Amino acid sequence: MRGMNVEKIAVVGASGYSGEELIRLLLRHPAAELVAVTSRQWVGQTLDTVYPKFAGMRYAKLAFIESEISAIVHSGARVVFLALPHGVATEYARPLVAAGLKVIDLSADFRIKDPAVYEEFYGEAPNAPELAASSVYGMPEIYRDKIAAAQLVASPGCYPTSIILPLYPLLKKKLLKPETIVVSSVSGVSGAGRTAKVDYLYVECNESVRSYSVPKHRHLGEIEQELSAAYGEKVMINFTPHLMPVNRGIHSTIYASRADGVTPAEINSALEAQYGTEPFVRLLGEKGSPDTKNVTFTNFVDIGWRHDPRTGRVVLLSAEDNLVKGASGQAIQSLNIMCGLPETTGLL
Amino acid sequence: MRGMNVEKIAVVGASGYSGEELIRLLLRHPAAELVAVTSRQWVGQTLDTVYPKFAGMRYAKLAFIESEISAIVHSGARVVFLALPHGVATEYARPLVAAGLKVIDLSADFRIKDPAVYEEFYGEAPNAPELAASSVYGMPEIYRDKIAAAQLVASPGCYPTSIILPLYPLLKKKLLKPETIVVSSVSGVSGAGRTAKVDYLYVECNESVRSYSVPKHRHLGEIEQELSAAYGEKVMINFTPHLMPVNRGIHSTIYASRADGVTPAEINSALEAQYGTEPFVRLLGEKGSPDTKNVTFTNFVDIGWRHDPRTGRVVLLSAEDNLVKGASGQAIQSLNIMCGLPETTGLL
Amino acid sequence: MRGMNVEKIAVVGASGYSGEELIRLLLRHPAAELVAVTSRQWVGQTLDTVYPKFAGMRYAKLAFIESEISAIVHSGARVVFLALPHGVATEYARPLVAAGLKVIDLSADFRIKDPAVYEEFYGEAPNAPELAASSVYGMPEIYRDKIAAAQLVASPGCYPTSIILPLYPLLKKKLLKPETIVVSSVSGVSGAGRTAKVDYLYVECNESVRSYSVPKHRHLGEIEQELSAAYGEKVMINFTPHLMPVNRGIHSTIYASRADGVTPAEINSALEAQYGTEPFVRLLGEKGSPDTKNVTFTNFVDIGWRHDPRTGRVVLLSAEDNLVKGASGQAIQSLNIMCGLPETTGLL
Amino acid sequence: MRGMNVEKIAVVGASGYSGEELIRLLLRHPAAELVAVTSRQWVGQTLDTVYPKFAGMRYAKLAFIESEISAIVHSGARVVFLALPHGVATEYARPLVAAGLKVIDLSADFRIKDPAVYEEFYGEAPNAPELAASSVYGMPEIYRDKIAAAQLVASPGCYPTSIILPLYPLLKKKLLKPETIVVSSVSGVSGAGRTAKVDYLYVECNESVRSYSVPKHRHLGEIEQELSAAYGEKVMINFTPHLMPVNRGIHSTIYASRADGVTPAEINSALEAQYGTEPFVRLLGEKGSPDTKNVTFTNFVDIGWRHDPRTGRVVLLSAEDNLVKGASGQAIQSLNIMCGLPETTGLL
């Protein structure tokens, strides 16, 4: 792309769905030069052998290398994406950060600032609280300036993105009563990862809807962290995730009572003020209904809302692709910001 | 079936999914003799011509007759199911009831007792408020005795069944704060009916989840009617239905704050006391998660629940087949009760 | 059921989809008394713990016992279903047969009469060629009398059922040129079994169609065995199975050239003569198109056909539920025949 | 894009799935300037009102204009895509061609060169045989040079693309016996168009597979036309399309006997010689299995093949996205060729 700097990029751990999606997006990104993909199980194999869908595209013949720090540094990468299982990112992030590289982590390892909260939700102490402390939560619509200056970005979880974005401006302006917040979300099965478990077999998920991790899903930690930051006080909510038979997509339905004296018009104004010019947030207003099929394979999050005069509640509705805005697309949005590229590069 | 009375049955209007399901269930019902199926568009055609899936089964060669009162009465039917679009049932129910037949209506026409509520949710005055007043809401777990004595049963809607059943015993015992109730439900596409609309085409529903009729779906009228009856005071809630890509199944997730001083054990006791011996309500307790795939093609409703000590809320989870327990199966449950048959006849 | 003998039944190995389906069908079978279910992994657990969908039904509280011969014999079972992985059935069938029990095996172990054919398709010598020799291929429409007298029935595979039935009468009467036969089949994912493999995860199967095991799927052995038996000479065909995103259902499309001088009317006559009175074969003629949704959850196989005057070929179309007529339903059909019950008992 | 000419484009009739897909692809095409979209039903509405998924993208605020020749010409468009129902394209193509514009038609109106063949398959005489005669069949891998010089391109049908491409080089070199060709294809439901018919409702297509238009689907006309052209003699085949529950994707399985003396190696060589350097044909060889999920949302067609020594047949396997390589992507490939752009522009 004319006049655009090209950034050398490495992807560490590309066997899961978000790693694969990261590669899919980077193959189309005009300012990304993919210099290394790493994987223990696939060393020496080319990208198109492992992922036949990438055959015939640029970098299709790039071969996986060992997931070793020296190899990654040696690749010349300036920015490294970590698409690793929960708990493994630290061993890569620490030396890569020390080596001066920029790191964007897609796991939960660095998202939670308070070690006690991490321990509450993950059942163990965080591996690297100092990295969590110095990292930036990679939600551009809220932390754009910090991301621009960050060396380590903790890219948000899929559910949190769909929940924090609609609530953020309303809590920040104290338009809602935070203790009344209740969230029901449904997610496509790719959110469960590419793991060979009977629970996620086709036959077990097709023609099925079920909740899981009620009432304390791990993502609740980062959701409440960000809602509390917005509101200025500790916020605790109910959040119920459900699995539904689609490949991609999260739909969140959020209920909260308006704070005393708040009008519906103020709700709308706050959303418009916050997101009116955001490239990836589409406000559907009081009539539109977000539909996951309108956002899958895109980096958009669609937000609609309703006011119920009978109960005084606001109902916020949001939809996103859990693998794009909920994971890899948002991570690339951070990449663009960190590298001084137009934020939408490779994402529209 | 040995010693069981055989009842002569007619089905009026069998072109929709609940009418078809009614026939599917009646074909297997050992005490049901199907003497008439009516349809304006299919007069003279046999059941297996219209529904190839019923070929080779008993009654497959029964021919549709005109939807005329005299023909229905002449068929010898003692019980008539009305599976008609909203607003049409009155013209059949009134003369059939007058003729002394028992009538089980699957539409919304007679479910709402208060004409003002009907008008609020359906946008017009009810056709037959006197029939609504004299009918019984066909939810056997709550109105079994009244159903046994009823001549006209208004069989409940699909969403209401999945929502009223979990909440009923908890509201009746005032274990919850009714003003805190919020419900998110997801339904399979058969709930939208067999109507040729672009919105319900395969491609528009597959890989899609979206809410609709927020915040005032028509079923809210009967939901609140029954919750209010249970609680003894007017109850108003938020209810958000969503469409998801499965053929059958409704999953409801219900949030409410416990009333002051109520313990989680009391929640469980109330559910057990109400439903412990019910043949079609399966209590999964505090660990089980209802999954629509466990109830589809059955008349069961599965109910689980959680207590969240962090927020004081109870989360109730329920799953049913919208066409069976949510429509035609429940209607046959009423049939069994009205005719003095074992309640599970043809349904297990 | 009045005057019907009740048969004591055991099911060995019920962790796969066909074992589960067998139980689902037996729970509704009026002449089946389930006296034992065995499983190594689930010993001591009740049926409804392992399969929540069976809660509330009869036998729901039956506990799994060890998969041991003595325990099975001791249960009093007169008929034993083996729903075991390929290669394991012999160790049960041999002693159970020796103990005088009737055995219906759902695996491939005894289907192939010729050990050389078995070895060609399964890559190893058969474990029990003498049992294969003495068993009856459990396709009632062809071997009804032999099944009635059999002690060991080798119940057919899913693809073979959908392919052999349409071709059998046409080859028997030499109406087709066997060397021109080509078959394309598509199967639902339950055909791959309840196995935790990445290939069968929801996301890998949804929005996907792919062929597999081309050109020599294992089922080809039994398909050709039966087609050869029908024709009286060795028949070799091409068969391509495909995986498609449905839970249940197989659709087979079969092409063959008419033998010289054969008229389309003769094709139809042969199908009618063979299947006109069969309870589970529905002939749709030259206009009907089998649709898997009309046969799922039933024991029917639907067969349609076309004649193409341009090319002289006949196109046969068939649809069945791979778990019912293609596996467990057909096995119960054999049970009924072996026990002198009406053949449709528990299957309509 | 640097140094790339920007072409002014109009899309006539954008209410169907291929019209929508055309717009989706053009919005990302770096050398396409969308100057007009026309639609009778949506005049005055913006693209993002009709298609919320396009909100926030370039041209989202472009308003639909009347489908009138003068308006299209006046828009400045140099190339016009016609995405109209069968039979309507002529009234636009004739005056637009006369006005000197380049036209790419996605309907079947100009694909069939022989009016008698058109009449045989479409049941009526062609509207504009002279345009059919002067148009080029828009399959770049076969007619690239002619497309470059064409003013009117008849873009191929979805099934034909998946069938002609694998067979073309093998027939051209007479490696197969054409009278033995049999094709079974399965297509996603978007192939049926965005038409409000009960047959294509979600519930009617989900958990269903069925054949249709057997044995003479309309696409057979253009398939045989191109196969005959390749072989040099009239070729007649059997072709059976099936509908399966996915949104996008066609998989074709093609059977044919090798010509006498032809070796499997020659089959492979012919495919490699024809397609080895094609940007959108990916050869998977004798081991790979095309899977629609690897090609959906791309312009690739994947081709694998097998040799069956038992029967002497070759089995060709192909997969494509029916809306991209099977329709709009291929049409844009023609656009690129006609305008002297790199052929992959906007398609990788």
pLDDT tens track for A65-116: 999 999 999 999 999 999 998 889 999 999 999 999 999 999 999 999 999 9
| Angle, CA D244 vertex, CA D241 and CA D245 arms, to 5° | 160
> What is the model's pLDDT at position A187?
98
Residues in chain A closer than 8 A to B291 (CB atoms):
208-210
Angstrom distance (rounded) from CA D212 to CA C304: 11
pLDDT at A249 over 80: yes
Cβ within 8 Å, pair B207-A246: yes
Distance from CA of D241 to the nearest CA of C (A): 10
Length of chain A: 348
Average pLDDT in the A269-276 region? 98
Q: Decide if A196 and C194 are in contact by the 8 Å CB cutoff.
A: no
Q: What is the structure's pLDDT at A5?
A: 81
Confidence (pLDDT) at A3: 60
What digits encode the pLDDT tens for the residues B178-213? 999 999 999 999 999 999 999 999 999 999 999 999
**Chains A–B, number of C-beta pairs less than 8 Å apart:** 149
The residue behind tokens 């060169």 is D113
> Pairing mode, if any, of strands A32-38 and B102-105?
unpaired
Nearest beta carbon to residue A203 from set C17, C197, C198: C17
Residue B3 banded pLDDT, cuts 50, 70, 90: low
Among candidates B198, B207, B247 on the partner chain, residue whose Cβ is nearest the Cβ of D203? B247
Q: For the segment D223-265, what is each residue's pLDDT rounded down to a tens digit? A: 999 999 999 999 999 999 999 999 999 999 999 999 999 999 9
Q: What is the mean pLDDT of chain B?
A: 96
Query: Residues of D with CB below 8 A from C184's CB?
Result: 184, 240, 253
Strand B7-12 relative to strand A7-12, pairing: unpaired
- Write the pLDDT tens digit of every residue in A212-242: 999 999 999 999 999 999 999 999 999 999 9
Residue of D nearest to A207 (CA): D207
**Cα gap A251→B149, rounded to integer Å:** 45
Task: State whether A206 and C245 contact (CB < 8 Å).
Answer: yes
* Interface mutation vs chain B, best among D201, D247, D321, D323, most B CBs within 10 Å: D201
**Nearest alpha carbon to residue D293 among A247, C103, C19:** A247
Do B244 and A209 lie within an 8 Å CB cutoff?
yes
From the list A52, A295, A297, the residue facing D294 with the nearest CB is: A52
How does strand D7-12 pair with strand C152-154? unpaired
**What ipTM did this prediction achieve?**
0.96
Q: Is the pLDDT of residue A1 over 50?
A: no
Q: Which of A322, A320, A308, A327 is nearest to A154 (CA)?
A: A327
What is the sign, positive or negative, of the torsion defined by CA atoms of D309, D313, D319, D324?
positive
What's the angle, vertex CA D322, arms to CA D320 and CA D324, rounded to 5? 85
Burial of A124 from C-beta contacts in 10 A (0-12 / 13-18 / 19+) = exposed
Give CA–CA dist A200/C196, Å, rounded: 8
CA-CA distances (angstroms) from residue B98 to B73, B87, B91? Answer: 11, 19, 12
Judged on CB neighbours under 10 Å (0-12, 13-18, 19+), B98 is exposed
B290 CB neighbours in chain A (<8 A) are: 210-211
B contact test, residue of C27, C282, C321, C323 with most B CBs within 10 A: C282
Give the confidence band of B86 by pLDDT, cuts at 50, 70, 90: confident
Residues paired with residue B104 on neighbouring β-strands, in sequence order: B81, B153
Pick from B189, B196, B247: CB nearest D197: B196
Substitution target in D176, D182, D234 with the highest count of C β-carbons within 10 Å is D182
Distance, in Å, from the CA atom of A201 to the CA atom of A199, rounded to the nearest integer, reads 6
Alpha carbon of residue D45 to chain centroid: 28
- Answer whether 0.90 is exceeded by the pTM: yes
The encoded tokens of residue A232 equal 């200025």
Interface residues of C toward A, Cβ cutoff 8 Å, are 17, 188-190, 194-198, 200-207, 245-247
Q: Decide if pLDDT at D2 tops 70.
A: no
Note if the bond before D264 is cis, omega within 30 degrees. no
Confidence of residue D280 (pLDDT cuts 50, 70, 90): very high
Spans of chain C below 50 pLDDT: 1
Q: Which of D190, D198, D206 is the closest to B196 by Cβ? A: D198
Which residues in chain A are closer than 8 Å to B223, comparing Cβ atoms? none
pLDDT score for B1 = 46
Instruction: Select from B1, B53, B303, B320 the residue whose CB has the most chain C CBs within 10 Å, as the one to mutate to test that interface.
Output: B53
D195 interaction partners in chain B (CB closer than 8 Å): 198, 201
What residues in A contact D297, CB-CB < 8 Å? 297
Q: Do B196 and D194 touch (CB under 8 A)?
A: no
A201 and C204: CB-CB below 8 Å? no
Residue A104 structure tokens? 């964007």
Cβ-defined contact of A282 to D207 (cutoff 8 Å): no
* Residues in CB range of C286: below 8 A, 6 or more apart: C264, C268, C304, C305, C306, C307
Which residue out of A1, A29, A53 would a mutagenesis test of the D interface target, given it has the greatest number of D Cβ atoms within 10 Å?
A53
- Rounded to a whole number of angstroms, the distance between the first and last alpha carbons of chain D is 14
Contacts D61 to A, Cβ<8 Å: none
DSSP-derived 3-state class of residue C315: strand
Chain B residues close to A315, C-beta within 8 Å? 214-215, 238, 240
In angstroms, the separation between the Cα of residue A202 and the nearest Cα of chain C is 4
- Please list every residue in chain A whose beta carbon sits closer than 8 Å to the beta carbon of residue C207: 247
Chain B / chain D CB contacts < 8 angstroms: 64
The structure tokens listed for C129 are 């060629």
Structure tokens at A147: 């991301």
**Other Cβ atoms closer than 10 A to C299:** 24
pLDDT at res. C14: 84
Cβ contact C202–A206 (<8 Å): yes
Residue B297 neighbours by CB distance under 10 Å: 20
- Which residues of A are marked as active site? 158
Pick from C347, C348, C326: nearest CA to C139: C326
Where does the pLDDT of residue D86 fall: very low under 50, low under 70, confident under 90, or very high at 90 and above?
A: confident
Cite the active site residues of D. 158
Q: For residue C87, what pLDDT is reported?
A: 85
Token pair in block for residue C343 = 């053949």
Interface of B with D (CB under 8 A): 17, 188-190, 194-198, 200-207, 245-247
* Nearest by CB: C238 against D216, D248, D308: D308
Q: Which two tokens stand for residue B15?
A: 């072109």
Contact C293 B28 (CB under 8 A): no
Q: A-chain residues within 8 Å CB-CB of B216?
A: 308, 310
Q: Do D186 and C182 touch (CB under 8 A)?
A: no
Active site residues of C: 158
Q: Are A52 and D279 inside 8 Å of each other by CB? A: no
Which residues of chain D does B203 touch, with a Cβ-Cβ cutoff of 8 Å?
17, 188-190, 194, 200, 247
Of B28, B207, B282, the CB nearest to C56: B282
In tens, the pLDDT along B103-158 reads: 999 999 999 999 999 999 999 999 999 999 999 999 999 999 999 999 999 999 99
Q: Tell me the shortest Cα–Cα distance from A225 to chain B, in angstroms.
A: 15
Cβ <8 Å between C245 and D248: no
Q: Please enumerate residues of C whose Cβ is less than 8 A from a Cβ of B.
A: 2, 28, 52-53, 55-58, 207, 279-280, 282, 284, 288, 291, 293-295, 297-298, 300, 302, 348
* C248–chain A nearest CA distance, Å: 9
Integer CA distances (angstroms), D323 to A247, B277, D37, D157, D193, in order: 19, 54, 19, 10, 10
**Residues ≥6 apart with Cβ < 8 Å to C93:** C82, C103, C105, C109, C110, C128, C131, C152
Does residue B2 surpass a pLDDT of 70?
A: no
